């Protein structure tokens, strides 16, 4: 499985993971709901379970993805400042380039 994290997102994620109450946890990308041929995504802090895969990214951040969930393979995590500040998770490999 693959996961891409942009430079802006990596900076924010590292800040979150450095907080005291985040110790021992990793970033999880999850599908909040899916319909048809695409999904909507969310982020959480968690520890991996038996149905998970830990993906190592080029930003030195490990990400937990649920095994065998086709919507999670190829996700991209970005952090935007405009129009409003926050994380944006898409999966370009599945034709998902943002919310609709």
* Total domains, the chain: 1
List, in sequence order, the alpha helices (H) in 1-100: 7-18
In Å, how far from its chain's centre is CA 39?
13
In a domain, 35, yes or no: yes
Residue 61 belongs to domain with CATH number = 2.60.300.12
Ramachandran angles phi, psi of 93, nearest 5°:
-70, -15
CA–CA distance from 52 to each of 5, 13, 73, 89, 100 (Å)? 19, 20, 12, 18, 28
Indicate the pTM of the whole model. Answer: 0.90
> What tens-digit pLDDT sequence spans the chain (100 residues)?
999 999 999 999 999 999 999 999 999 999 999 887 778 999 999 999 999 999 999 999 999 999 999 999 999 999 999 888 999 999 988 876 655 4
In a domain, 99, yes or no: no
In a domain, 70, yes or no: yes
In a domain, 75, yes or no: yes
Residue numbers of the domain that contains 51 = 3-94
pLDDT given for residue 100 in this prediction? 42
In a domain, 8, yes or no: yes
């Amino acid at each position: 499985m693959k996961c891409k994290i942009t430079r802006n997102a990596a900076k924010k994620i590292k800040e979150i993971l450095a907080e005291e109450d985040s110790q021992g946890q990793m970033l999880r990308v999850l599908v909040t709901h899916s319909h048809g041929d695409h999904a909507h995504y969310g982020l959480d802090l968690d520890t991996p379970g038996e149905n998970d895969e830990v993906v190592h990214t080029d930003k030195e951040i490990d990400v937990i993805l649920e095994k065998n969930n086709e919507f999670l393979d190829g996700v991209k995590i970005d952090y935007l400042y405009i129009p409003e500040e926050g994380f944006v998770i898409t999966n370009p490999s599945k034709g998902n380039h943002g919310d609709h």
